[in-house]
Structure 1
Amino acid sequence: MTDAIITLGMLVLLQAVLGFDNLLYISLMSKRAPAEDQKRVRTLGIAIAVFLRIALLFILVKLIDYFQESWFAIDIEGVFVGHYNLHSLIVLLGGAFILYTSVKEIFHMMNLDEHEGEDRTAQSAGRVIFTIVIMNLVFSFDSILSAMALSDSVPIMATAIIIGGVLMIWLADHVSTFLQKNRLYEVLGLFILFVVGIMLLTEGGHLAHMEIAGQSITPMNKMTFYFVISVLVLCDVVQSRYQRKLMAQTDGAGN
Protein backbone atom coordinates (compact mmCIF):
# COMPACT_ATOMS: atom_id res chain seq x y z
CA MET A 1 0.00 0.00 0.00
CA THR A 2 2.80 2.39 0.93
CA ASP A 3 4.64 1.62 -2.30
CA ALA A 4 1.47 2.33 -4.29
CA ILE A 5 1.02 5.71 -2.59
CA ILE A 6 4.65 6.66 -3.19
CA THR A 7 4.38 5.61 -6.84
CA LEU A 8 1.16 7.58 -7.21
CA GLY A 9 2.83 10.66 -5.73
CA MET A 10 5.76 10.31 -8.12
CA LEU A 11 3.42 9.95 -11.09
CA VAL A 12 1.38 13.01 -10.08
CA LEU A 13 4.61 14.98 -9.75
CA LEU A 14 5.68 13.71 -13.15
CA GLN A 15 2.37 14.83 -14.64
CA ALA A 16 2.88 18.28 -13.14
CA VAL A 17 6.46 18.67 -14.39
CA LEU A 18 5.74 17.41 -17.90
CA GLY A 19 2.43 19.26 -18.06
CA PHE A 20 3.79 22.80 -17.75
CA ASP A 21 3.99 23.43 -21.49
CA ASN A 22 0.55 21.88 -21.98
CA LEU A 23 -0.90 24.13 -19.27
CA LEU A 24 0.52 27.23 -20.90
CA TYR A 25 -0.82 26.19 -24.29
CA ILE A 26 -4.31 25.65 -22.87
CA SER A 27 -4.27 29.02 -21.10
CA LEU A 28 -3.26 30.87 -24.25
CA MET A 29 -5.54 28.95 -26.60
CA SER A 30 -8.61 29.43 -24.40
CA LYS A 31 -8.30 33.19 -24.92
CA ARG A 32 -9.38 32.66 -28.53
CA ALA A 33 -12.87 31.72 -27.38
CA PRO A 34 -15.49 34.34 -26.44
CA ALA A 35 -14.75 35.77 -22.98
CA GLU A 36 -17.88 34.28 -21.43
CA ASP A 37 -16.92 30.79 -22.66
CA GLN A 38 -13.23 30.73 -21.79
CA LYS A 39 -13.53 29.08 -18.37
CA ARG A 40 -15.91 26.46 -19.77
CA VAL A 41 -13.57 25.87 -22.70
CA ARG A 42 -10.63 25.21 -20.38
CA THR A 43 -12.59 22.95 -18.05
CA LEU A 44 -14.32 20.96 -20.76
CA GLY A 45 -11.22 20.75 -22.93
CA ILE A 46 -9.08 19.39 -20.11
CA ALA A 47 -11.83 17.03 -18.90
CA ILE A 48 -12.27 15.50 -22.36
CA ALA A 49 -8.51 15.32 -22.79
CA VAL A 50 -8.13 13.48 -19.46
CA PHE A 51 -10.73 10.92 -20.54
CA LEU A 52 -8.95 10.43 -23.86
CA ARG A 53 -5.56 10.32 -22.12
CA ILE A 54 -6.77 7.41 -19.98
CA ALA A 55 -8.00 5.71 -23.14
CA LEU A 56 -4.60 6.36 -24.72
CA LEU A 57 -2.95 4.81 -21.66
CA PHE A 58 -4.86 1.56 -22.18
CA ILE A 59 -4.08 1.63 -25.90
CA LEU A 60 -0.37 2.20 -25.33
CA VAL A 61 -0.19 -0.58 -22.75
CA LYS A 62 -1.67 -3.01 -25.26
CA LEU A 63 -0.20 -1.68 -28.51
CA ILE A 64 3.10 -0.08 -27.55
CA ASP A 65 4.96 -2.11 -30.17
CA TYR A 66 2.61 -0.85 -32.89
CA PHE A 67 3.39 2.77 -32.04
CA GLN A 68 7.11 2.02 -32.26
CA GLU A 69 6.88 0.05 -35.50
CA SER A 70 8.36 1.84 -38.51
CA TRP A 71 5.81 3.01 -41.08
CA PHE A 72 8.06 4.40 -43.78
CA ALA A 73 11.54 5.76 -44.33
CA ILE A 74 13.16 8.54 -46.31
CA ASP A 75 16.78 7.97 -47.20
CA ILE A 76 18.58 10.53 -49.32
CA GLU A 77 22.16 9.66 -48.53
CA GLY A 78 24.16 12.54 -47.15
CA VAL A 79 21.18 14.89 -47.32
CA PHE A 80 18.21 13.61 -45.33
CA VAL A 81 17.45 10.37 -43.52
CA GLY A 82 14.42 9.48 -41.42
CA HIS A 83 12.58 6.37 -40.27
CA TYR A 84 9.09 7.30 -39.14
CA ASN A 85 6.71 5.51 -36.81
CA LEU A 86 3.35 6.65 -35.45
CA HIS A 87 4.88 8.07 -32.28
CA SER A 88 7.43 10.20 -34.12
CA LEU A 89 4.86 11.47 -36.62
CA ILE A 90 2.47 12.58 -33.87
CA VAL A 91 5.24 14.41 -32.01
CA LEU A 92 6.59 16.03 -35.18
CA LEU A 93 3.15 17.21 -36.32
CA GLY A 94 2.35 18.50 -32.83
CA GLY A 95 5.62 20.41 -32.66
CA ALA A 96 5.10 21.89 -36.11
CA PHE A 97 1.57 23.00 -35.21
CA ILE A 98 2.68 24.65 -31.96
CA LEU A 99 5.55 26.35 -33.78
CA TYR A 100 3.16 27.63 -36.43
CA THR A 101 0.65 28.81 -33.83
CA SER A 102 3.22 30.67 -31.74
CA VAL A 103 4.84 32.38 -34.74
CA LYS A 104 1.44 33.37 -36.13
CA GLU A 105 0.36 34.85 -32.79
CA ILE A 106 3.65 36.71 -32.38
CA PHE A 107 3.26 38.28 -35.82
CA HIS A 108 -0.33 39.12 -34.96
CA MET A 109 0.82 40.96 -31.84
CA MET A 110 3.38 42.89 -33.88
CA ASN A 111 0.61 44.04 -36.22
CA LEU A 112 -2.12 44.31 -33.62
CA ASP A 113 -5.19 46.19 -34.70
CA GLU A 114 -7.99 46.93 -32.26
CA HIS A 115 -10.81 45.82 -34.55
CA GLU A 116 -8.87 42.79 -35.72
CA GLY A 117 -8.38 41.78 -32.10
CA GLU A 118 -12.11 41.93 -31.52
CA ASP A 119 -12.77 39.72 -34.54
CA ARG A 120 -10.23 37.15 -33.43
CA THR A 121 -12.05 36.51 -30.16
CA ALA A 122 -15.05 35.23 -32.08
CA GLN A 123 -13.74 31.70 -32.62
CA SER A 124 -16.27 29.11 -31.60
CA ALA A 125 -15.83 27.44 -28.23
CA GLY A 126 -16.13 24.03 -29.87
CA ARG A 127 -13.24 24.71 -32.21
CA VAL A 128 -10.99 25.87 -29.37
CA ILE A 129 -11.95 22.84 -27.25
CA PHE A 130 -11.14 20.53 -30.18
CA THR A 131 -7.70 22.14 -30.59
CA ILE A 132 -6.99 21.88 -26.86
CA VAL A 133 -7.99 18.21 -26.78
CA ILE A 134 -5.88 17.28 -29.81
CA MET A 135 -2.78 19.07 -28.56
CA ASN A 136 -3.28 17.63 -25.09
CA LEU A 137 -3.06 14.17 -26.62
CA VAL A 138 0.19 15.14 -28.34
CA PHE A 139 1.63 16.24 -25.00
CA SER A 140 0.29 13.04 -23.42
CA PHE A 141 2.69 10.64 -25.10
CA ASP A 142 5.75 11.68 -23.12
CA SER A 143 3.97 11.68 -19.78
CA ILE A 144 2.30 8.31 -20.37
CA LEU A 145 5.46 6.62 -21.63
CA SER A 146 7.40 8.05 -18.68
CA ALA A 147 4.69 6.83 -16.32
CA MET A 148 4.87 3.35 -17.85
CA ALA A 149 8.59 3.34 -17.08
CA LEU A 150 7.85 4.05 -13.40
CA SER A 151 4.90 1.73 -12.88
CA ASP A 152 3.19 -1.25 -14.44
CA SER A 153 -0.08 -0.63 -12.60
CA VAL A 154 -2.69 0.80 -14.96
CA PRO A 155 -5.08 1.85 -12.12
CA ILE A 156 -2.32 3.86 -10.43
CA MET A 157 -1.34 5.53 -13.71
CA ALA A 158 -4.99 6.31 -14.50
CA THR A 159 -5.47 7.79 -11.02
CA ALA A 160 -2.41 9.98 -11.50
CA ILE A 161 -3.80 11.20 -14.83
CA ILE A 162 -7.13 12.12 -13.19
CA ILE A 163 -5.43 13.96 -10.31
CA GLY A 164 -3.17 15.73 -12.79
CA GLY A 165 -6.21 16.74 -14.83
CA VAL A 166 -7.96 18.22 -11.79
CA LEU A 167 -4.83 20.18 -10.88
CA MET A 168 -4.52 21.37 -14.46
CA ILE A 169 -8.11 22.65 -14.50
CA TRP A 170 -7.43 24.60 -11.31
CA LEU A 171 -4.08 25.96 -12.48
CA ALA A 172 -5.33 26.83 -15.97
CA ASP A 173 -7.84 29.27 -14.50
CA HIS A 174 -5.14 30.92 -12.40
CA VAL A 175 -2.67 31.15 -15.29
CA SER A 176 -5.35 32.56 -17.59
CA THR A 177 -6.36 35.14 -14.98
CA PHE A 178 -2.73 36.15 -14.55
CA LEU A 179 -2.26 36.55 -18.31
CA GLN A 180 -5.46 38.55 -18.54
CA LYS A 181 -4.24 40.97 -15.87
CA ASN A 182 -0.70 41.08 -17.24
CA ARG A 183 -1.11 41.19 -21.00
CA LEU A 184 2.58 41.81 -21.63
CA TYR A 185 3.39 38.33 -20.34
CA GLU A 186 1.43 36.87 -23.26
CA VAL A 187 4.46 37.63 -25.42
CA LEU A 188 6.64 35.67 -23.01
CA GLY A 189 4.13 32.83 -23.09
CA LEU A 190 4.19 32.72 -26.89
CA PHE A 191 7.97 32.58 -26.99
CA ILE A 192 7.87 29.76 -24.44
CA LEU A 193 5.45 27.95 -26.75
CA PHE A 194 7.90 28.57 -29.59
CA VAL A 195 10.59 26.80 -27.57
CA VAL A 196 8.11 24.00 -26.81
CA GLY A 197 7.55 23.57 -30.54
CA ILE A 198 11.30 23.34 -31.13
CA MET A 199 11.59 20.81 -28.31
CA LEU A 200 8.86 18.62 -29.79
CA LEU A 201 10.38 18.83 -33.27
CA THR A 202 13.78 17.75 -31.99
CA GLU A 203 12.20 14.96 -29.97
CA GLY A 204 10.20 13.78 -32.97
CA GLY A 205 13.30 13.97 -35.14
CA HIS A 206 15.20 11.89 -32.61
CA LEU A 207 12.41 9.32 -32.47
CA ALA A 208 12.52 9.11 -36.27
CA HIS A 209 16.33 8.81 -36.24
CA MET A 210 16.48 11.81 -38.54
CA GLU A 211 19.73 13.02 -40.01
CA ILE A 212 20.14 16.27 -41.92
CA ALA A 213 23.35 16.69 -43.91
CA GLY A 214 24.80 13.79 -41.96
CA GLN A 215 24.01 15.34 -38.58
CA SER A 216 21.71 13.43 -36.23
CA ILE A 217 18.85 15.31 -34.59
CA THR A 218 19.45 15.50 -30.85
CA PRO A 219 16.40 15.99 -28.62
CA MET A 220 16.26 18.95 -26.27
CA ASN A 221 16.19 17.49 -22.78
CA LYS A 222 13.92 18.82 -20.06
CA MET A 223 16.74 20.43 -18.08
CA THR A 224 17.79 22.46 -21.11
CA PHE A 225 14.15 23.37 -21.74
CA TYR A 226 13.59 24.63 -18.20
CA PHE A 227 16.91 26.51 -18.26
CA VAL A 228 15.88 28.32 -21.45
CA ILE A 229 12.47 29.10 -19.95
CA SER A 230 14.12 30.42 -16.78
CA VAL A 231 16.35 32.71 -18.85
CA LEU A 232 13.35 33.98 -20.84
CA VAL A 233 11.38 34.69 -17.66
CA LEU A 234 14.36 36.39 -16.00
CA CYS A 235 14.98 38.57 -19.06
CA ASP A 236 11.31 39.52 -19.18
CA VAL A 237 11.20 40.44 -15.49
CA VAL A 238 14.39 42.52 -15.71
CA GLN A 239 13.18 44.22 -18.90
CA SER A 240 9.80 45.05 -17.33
CA ARG A 241 11.36 46.56 -14.21
CA TYR A 242 13.92 48.48 -16.22
CA GLN A 243 11.18 49.84 -18.49
CA ARG A 244 9.10 50.96 -15.50
CA LYS A 245 12.16 52.66 -14.02
CA LEU A 246 12.84 54.52 -17.27
CA MET A 247 9.21 55.60 -17.51
CA ALA A 248 9.30 56.86 -13.93
CA GLN A 249 12.47 58.83 -14.64
CA THR A 250 10.93 60.28 -17.81
CA ASP A 251 7.78 61.30 -15.95
CA GLY A 252 9.89 62.85 -13.20
CA ALA A 253 11.95 64.82 -15.71
CA GLY A 254 8.78 66.00 -17.43
CA ASN A 255 7.38 67.34 -14.19
Structure 2
Amino acid sequence: MLDWLTDPAGWAALLTLTAMEIVLGIDNVVFISVLVARLPEEQAKRARAIGLLLALVFRVLLLSLLTWIIGLTKPVMTVFGLGLSWRDLILLGGGGFLIAKATHEIHAGLEGDHDEAQKGAAPRAFMAAIMQIALVDLVFSIDSIVTAIGMADNLSIMVAAVLLSMIVMYVASGPVSAFIAAHPTTKMLALAFLILIGASLCAEATGFHLPRGYIYVAMAFSACVEAINITAARRRKAARMAQAAKAEKQPVGSEG
Protein backbone atom coordinates (compact mmCIF):
# COMPACT_ATOMS: atom_id res chain seq x y z
CA MET A 1 0.00 0.00 0.00
CA LEU A 2 2.98 2.30 0.64
CA ASP A 3 4.98 1.14 -2.38
CA TRP A 4 4.59 4.62 -3.89
CA LEU A 5 7.12 5.95 -1.32
CA THR A 6 9.92 4.58 -3.51
CA ASP A 7 8.22 5.52 -6.77
CA PRO A 8 8.82 9.02 -8.26
CA ALA A 9 5.43 8.82 -9.95
CA GLY A 10 3.81 8.32 -6.53
CA TRP A 11 5.50 11.43 -5.14
CA ALA A 12 4.46 13.40 -8.22
CA ALA A 13 0.86 12.27 -7.67
CA LEU A 14 1.12 13.27 -3.99
CA LEU A 15 2.41 16.77 -4.80
CA THR A 16 -0.20 17.30 -7.52
CA LEU A 17 -3.05 16.10 -5.36
CA THR A 18 -1.85 18.12 -2.34
CA ALA A 19 -1.70 21.27 -4.46
CA MET A 20 -5.21 20.60 -5.74
CA GLU A 21 -6.53 20.01 -2.21
CA ILE A 22 -4.95 23.28 -1.03
CA VAL A 23 -6.52 25.20 -3.93
CA LEU A 24 -9.93 23.65 -3.27
CA GLY A 25 -9.45 24.39 0.43
CA ILE A 26 -9.18 28.13 -0.22
CA ASP A 27 -12.98 28.31 -0.27
CA ASN A 28 -13.10 26.57 3.11
CA VAL A 29 -10.51 28.90 4.67
CA VAL A 30 -12.32 32.01 3.43
CA PHE A 31 -15.65 30.79 4.80
CA ILE A 32 -14.21 29.87 8.20
CA SER A 33 -12.32 33.19 8.40
CA VAL A 34 -15.48 35.18 7.69
CA LEU A 35 -17.59 33.11 10.06
CA VAL A 36 -15.27 33.49 13.06
CA ALA A 37 -14.60 37.19 12.47
CA ARG A 38 -17.39 38.20 14.88
CA LEU A 39 -16.27 35.85 17.68
CA PRO A 40 -13.91 36.82 20.52
CA GLU A 41 -10.28 36.05 19.69
CA GLU A 42 -10.00 32.96 21.91
CA GLN A 43 -13.26 31.49 20.61
CA ALA A 44 -12.23 32.34 17.04
CA LYS A 45 -9.03 30.28 17.44
CA ARG A 46 -10.99 27.33 18.83
CA ALA A 47 -13.59 27.59 16.08
CA ARG A 48 -10.90 27.61 13.38
CA ALA A 49 -9.17 24.59 14.91
CA ILE A 50 -12.43 22.66 15.34
CA GLY A 51 -13.60 23.61 11.86
CA LEU A 52 -10.44 22.41 10.14
CA LEU A 53 -10.34 19.27 12.31
CA LEU A 54 -13.89 18.50 11.15
CA ALA A 55 -12.81 19.09 7.56
CA LEU A 56 -9.96 16.60 8.05
CA VAL A 57 -12.25 14.02 9.68
CA PHE A 58 -14.86 14.36 6.93
CA ARG A 59 -12.27 13.97 4.17
CA VAL A 60 -10.56 10.93 5.70
CA LEU A 61 -13.93 9.34 6.49
CA LEU A 62 -15.18 9.91 2.96
CA LEU A 63 -11.95 8.50 1.53
CA SER A 64 -12.63 5.28 3.44
CA LEU A 65 -16.03 5.11 1.73
CA LEU A 66 -14.80 5.29 -1.86
CA THR A 67 -17.43 2.93 -3.25
CA TRP A 68 -20.19 4.96 -1.65
CA ILE A 69 -18.70 8.24 -2.89
CA ILE A 70 -18.51 6.95 -6.46
CA GLY A 71 -22.16 5.96 -6.15
CA LEU A 72 -23.06 9.53 -5.22
CA THR A 73 -22.38 10.61 -8.80
CA LYS A 74 -25.13 8.40 -10.24
CA PRO A 75 -28.44 10.20 -11.02
CA VAL A 76 -31.17 9.51 -8.46
CA MET A 77 -33.84 11.88 -9.75
CA THR A 78 -34.76 13.92 -12.81
CA VAL A 79 -35.91 17.55 -12.68
CA PHE A 80 -36.98 19.25 -15.91
CA GLY A 81 -35.09 16.61 -17.88
CA LEU A 82 -31.91 17.10 -15.84
CA GLY A 83 -30.55 14.06 -13.97
CA LEU A 84 -29.41 14.93 -10.45
CA SER A 85 -27.20 12.75 -8.26
CA TRP A 86 -26.82 12.90 -4.48
CA ARG A 87 -23.59 14.84 -5.03
CA ASP A 88 -25.47 17.36 -7.18
CA LEU A 89 -28.16 17.78 -4.54
CA ILE A 90 -25.54 18.27 -1.79
CA LEU A 91 -23.65 20.82 -3.89
CA LEU A 92 -26.92 22.60 -4.71
CA GLY A 93 -27.87 22.79 -1.03
CA GLY A 94 -24.37 23.85 0.01
CA GLY A 95 -24.17 26.50 -2.71
CA GLY A 96 -27.55 27.87 -1.71
CA PHE A 97 -26.44 27.97 1.94
CA LEU A 98 -23.25 29.89 1.05
CA ILE A 99 -25.22 32.44 -0.97
CA ALA A 100 -27.80 32.89 1.82
CA LYS A 101 -25.14 33.10 4.57
CA ALA A 102 -22.96 35.58 2.68
CA THR A 103 -25.97 37.74 1.82
CA HIS A 104 -27.06 37.72 5.48
CA GLU A 105 -23.56 38.73 6.63
CA ILE A 106 -23.41 41.56 4.09
CA HIS A 107 -26.79 42.82 5.27
CA ALA A 108 -25.70 42.57 8.92
CA GLY A 109 -22.49 44.45 8.15
CA LEU A 110 -24.38 47.26 6.44
CA GLU A 111 -27.00 47.50 9.20
CA GLY A 112 -24.30 47.58 11.88
CA ASP A 113 -26.44 46.14 14.69
CA HIS A 114 -25.44 42.49 14.34
CA ASP A 115 -22.28 42.76 16.50
CA GLU A 116 -24.15 43.80 19.64
CA ALA A 117 -26.65 40.97 19.28
CA GLN A 118 -23.87 38.41 19.01
CA LYS A 119 -21.95 39.84 21.99
CA GLY A 120 -24.97 39.12 24.16
CA ALA A 121 -25.10 35.50 23.10
CA ALA A 122 -21.45 34.46 22.69
CA PRO A 123 -21.85 30.74 23.57
CA ARG A 124 -24.77 30.38 21.19
CA ALA A 125 -22.86 32.23 18.46
CA PHE A 126 -19.87 29.92 18.96
CA MET A 127 -21.99 26.76 18.64
CA ALA A 128 -23.81 28.20 15.62
CA ALA A 129 -20.45 28.93 13.97
CA ILE A 130 -19.24 25.37 14.60
CA MET A 131 -22.44 23.87 13.15
CA GLN A 132 -22.25 26.05 10.04
CA ILE A 133 -18.56 25.25 9.58
CA ALA A 134 -19.35 21.52 9.86
CA LEU A 135 -22.11 21.82 7.24
CA VAL A 136 -19.93 23.63 4.72
CA ASP A 137 -16.97 21.34 5.50
CA LEU A 138 -19.13 18.40 4.46
CA VAL A 139 -20.08 20.05 1.16
CA PHE A 140 -16.51 21.04 0.31
CA SER A 141 -15.21 17.63 1.43
CA ILE A 142 -17.48 15.73 -0.95
CA ASP A 143 -16.49 18.01 -3.83
CA SER A 144 -12.81 17.65 -2.91
CA ILE A 145 -12.85 13.87 -2.51
CA VAL A 146 -14.76 13.26 -5.75
CA THR A 147 -12.05 15.28 -7.53
CA ALA A 148 -9.29 13.38 -5.70
CA ILE A 149 -10.73 10.03 -6.77
CA GLY A 150 -10.44 11.15 -10.37
CA MET A 151 -6.77 12.11 -9.94
CA ALA A 152 -5.34 9.20 -7.93
CA ASP A 153 -6.15 5.55 -7.34
CA ASN A 154 -4.04 4.97 -4.22
CA LEU A 155 -5.86 5.53 -0.93
CA SER A 156 -2.69 6.21 1.08
CA ILE A 157 -1.64 8.94 -1.38
CA MET A 158 -5.05 10.59 -1.08
CA VAL A 159 -4.97 10.44 2.74
CA ALA A 160 -1.42 11.88 2.81
CA ALA A 161 -2.46 14.69 0.45
CA VAL A 162 -5.46 15.54 2.62
CA LEU A 163 -3.31 15.62 5.78
CA LEU A 164 -0.71 17.89 4.17
CA SER A 165 -3.36 20.24 2.77
CA MET A 166 -5.08 20.49 6.17
CA ILE A 167 -1.76 21.48 7.80
CA VAL A 168 -1.28 24.23 5.21
CA MET A 169 -4.90 25.39 5.63
CA TYR A 170 -4.53 25.51 9.43
CA VAL A 171 -1.34 27.59 9.20
CA ALA A 172 -2.96 29.94 6.66
CA SER A 173 -6.31 30.31 8.44
CA GLY A 174 -4.88 32.39 11.31
CA PRO A 175 -3.29 35.16 9.19
CA VAL A 176 -6.27 35.20 6.83
CA SER A 177 -8.73 35.58 9.72
CA ALA A 178 -6.60 38.29 11.35
CA PHE A 179 -6.31 40.20 8.07
CA ILE A 180 -10.07 40.06 7.44
CA ALA A 181 -10.79 41.19 11.01
CA ALA A 182 -8.34 44.11 10.71
CA HIS A 183 -9.67 45.31 7.34
CA PRO A 184 -13.49 45.47 7.16
CA THR A 185 -13.47 46.09 3.40
CA THR A 186 -11.73 42.76 2.83
CA LYS A 187 -14.54 41.03 4.71
CA MET A 188 -17.06 42.39 2.20
CA LEU A 189 -14.78 41.18 -0.59
CA ALA A 190 -14.56 37.73 1.03
CA LEU A 191 -18.35 37.60 1.34
CA ALA A 192 -18.65 38.47 -2.33
CA PHE A 193 -16.26 35.58 -3.05
CA LEU A 194 -18.51 33.25 -1.06
CA ILE A 195 -21.52 34.30 -3.15
CA LEU A 196 -19.47 33.60 -6.28
CA ILE A 197 -18.37 30.20 -4.94
CA GLY A 198 -21.94 29.34 -3.93
CA ALA A 199 -23.19 30.25 -7.39
CA SER A 200 -20.50 28.08 -8.98
CA LEU A 201 -21.49 25.11 -6.77
CA CYS A 202 -25.15 25.53 -7.80
CA ALA A 203 -24.13 25.80 -11.45
CA GLU A 204 -22.00 22.66 -11.23
CA ALA A 205 -24.86 20.80 -9.55
CA THR A 206 -27.13 21.61 -12.51
CA GLY A 207 -24.63 20.40 -15.09
CA PHE A 208 -22.94 23.69 -15.99
CA HIS A 209 -19.24 23.28 -15.25
CA LEU A 210 -17.50 26.55 -14.44
CA PRO A 211 -13.72 25.98 -14.28
CA ARG A 212 -12.45 26.86 -10.81
CA GLY A 213 -9.46 28.56 -12.42
CA TYR A 214 -11.70 31.38 -13.65
CA ILE A 215 -13.04 31.93 -10.15
CA TYR A 216 -9.61 31.91 -8.51
CA VAL A 217 -8.19 34.32 -11.11
CA ALA A 218 -11.09 36.70 -10.41
CA MET A 219 -10.49 36.33 -6.66
CA ALA A 220 -6.75 36.96 -7.06
CA PHE A 221 -7.36 40.04 -9.23
CA SER A 222 -9.87 41.48 -6.74
CA ALA A 223 -7.50 40.73 -3.84
CA CYS A 224 -4.66 42.57 -5.64
CA VAL A 225 -6.89 45.62 -6.20
CA GLU A 226 -7.92 45.55 -2.52
CA ALA A 227 -4.27 45.25 -1.46
CA ILE A 228 -3.47 48.38 -3.51
CA ASN A 229 -6.38 50.21 -1.85
CA ILE A 230 -5.20 49.19 1.63
CA THR A 231 -1.62 50.28 0.88
CA ALA A 232 -2.84 53.63 -0.46
CA ALA A 233 -5.04 54.13 2.62
CA ARG A 234 -2.09 53.40 4.93
CA ARG A 235 0.10 55.90 3.12
CA ARG A 236 -2.60 58.59 3.28
CA LYS A 237 -3.02 57.94 7.01
CA ALA A 238 0.75 58.10 7.59
CA ALA A 239 0.93 61.36 5.64
CA ARG A 240 -1.90 62.88 7.69
CA MET A 241 -0.24 61.81 10.95
CA ALA A 242 3.10 63.27 9.84
CA GLN A 243 1.40 66.51 8.85
CA ALA A 244 -0.42 66.70 12.18
CA ALA A 245 2.80 66.05 14.10
CA LYS A 246 4.55 68.78 12.11
CA ALA A 247 1.72 71.21 12.85
CA GLU A 248 1.99 70.49 16.60
CA LYS A 249 5.73 71.14 16.63
CA GLN A 250 5.55 74.33 14.60
CA PRO A 251 4.26 76.69 17.34
CA VAL A 252 6.95 75.45 19.75
CA GLY A 253 9.64 76.21 17.19
CA SER A 254 8.30 79.70 16.51
CA GLU A 255 8.30 80.58 20.25
CA GLY A 256 11.91 79.48 20.58
TM-score, structure 2 length as denominator?
0.82
Residue in structure 1 matched with residue 103 of structure 2 by the alignment: 103
SS at match of 1:73: strand
SS at match of 1:178: helix
Give the whole-Å Cα distance in 2 for the aligned partners of 1:195 and 1:167.
Answer: 23
- 2:34 is the alignment partner of 1:44: no
* Identity score, percent: 25
1:89 CA drift (Å) = 0.3
1:169 CA drift (Å) = 1.3
Residue in structure 1 matched with residue 23 of structure 2 by the alignment: 17
SS at match of 1:184: helix
Give the whole-Å Cα distance in 2 for the aligned partners of 1:169 and 1:250.
Answer: 38
SS at match of 1:68: coil
Name the count of aligned residue pairs: 234
Change (3 A) 1:182 1:146: same
1:155 CA drift (Å) = 1.1
Find 1:72's aligned residue among 73, 77, 80: 77
Any conservation in 2 of the 1:41–1:129 contact (CA below 8 Å)? yes
SS at match of 2:84: strand
Change (3 A) 1:34 1:249: closer
- 2:230 is the alignment partner of 1:229: no
1:204 CA drift (Å) = 1.0
The letter for the 2-side match of 1:4 is G
Give the whole-Å Cα distance in 2 for the aligned partners of 1:237 and 1:168.
Answer: 21
Residue in structure 1 matched with residue 203 of structure 2 by the alignment: 202
Residue in structure 1 matched with residue 149 of structure 2 by the alignment: 148
Q: Deviation above 3 Å: which 4+ runs of structure 1?
A: 32-35, 237-252
Q: Could you tell which deviates more after superposition, 239-248 or 7-16?
A: 239-248
Structure with the bigger percentage of helix: 2
Change (3 A) 1:33 1:250: closer
Residue in structure 2 matched with residue 127 of structure 1 by the alignment: 128
Any conservation in 2 of the 1:34–1:124 contact (CA below 8 Å)? no
SS at match of 1:139: helix
TM-score, structure 1 length as denominator?
0.82
**Per-residue displacement from partner, 1:205-241 (whole Å, max 9, x unpaired)?**
11xxxxxxxxxxx322112112221332244345556
